[in-house]
Amino acid sequence: MEKTFLMVKPDGVQRNLVGEIVSRFENKGFKLAGAKLMIIPAELAEKHYGEHKDKPFFGELVDFITSGPVFAMVWEGENVIATARQMMGSTKPQDALPGTIRGDFGVTVGKNVIHGSDSPESAEREIGLFFEEDKVLSYDKND
């Protein structure tokens, strides 16, 4: 069964949005397959956001994501990667539609509450960066 990596960012944890966000994915019918509250070490943040390393906002991005606890999660379900992206809404909160997580709670492009993998390749890579293999469960007997 398809899996994705989602993370409530430091602004979302600080604003007590973890329960609200977990509920949205549970209510949709996805299964929580792994979770941990953690402070991301700078080295992991740089690897996670490696594709943005030449962007002008890279330093700011790493500083923000390591600035406080995040809630890292693995979710499982049919088409969970694309569906979770739809439920998150556009990266820029001003473009995110009402009813999406960023549309309802996002403030700025940096403080946009949640991160989610954008493809099967990033999902595999990001799950591998954040979770040891035996810490990710599966509800699908065929996995």
Considering beta carbons, is residue 109 or 138 the nearer one to ligand CMP? 109
Residue 80: Cβ within 10 Å count: 26
In the region spanning residues 96 to 115, those forming contacts with ligand CMP, defined by CB under 6 A, are: 109-110, 112, 115
Does 85 appear as a known binding residue?
yes
Q: Cα separation of 143 and 18, whole Å?
A: 28
Q: Show the site string, 32-71: x = touches ligand CMP by CB under 6 A, - = not.
A: --------------------x----x--xx----------
By CB under 6 A, is residue 4 in contact with ligand CMP?
no
Residues assigned a catalytic role: 115
Sheet holding 3-8, edge to edge: 31-38, 70-76, 3-8, 114-116
In whole angstroms, the minimum distance from the beta carbon of 134 to ligand CMP comes to 26
In whole angstroms, the minimum distance from the beta carbon of 82 to ligand CMP comes to 14
Both tokens of 108, joined, read 């700025």
Report which of 81, 79, 78, 52 is spatially closest to residue 64, judged by C-alpha positions: 52
Does 27 appear as a known binding residue?
no
CB contact set of 88 (below 8 Å; sequence gap of 6+): 96, 100, 101, 102, 114, 116
Return residues touching ligand CMP (CB under 6 A). 52, 57, 60-61, 91, 109-110, 112, 115
Residues in binding site for ATP: 9, 57, 85, 91, 102, 112
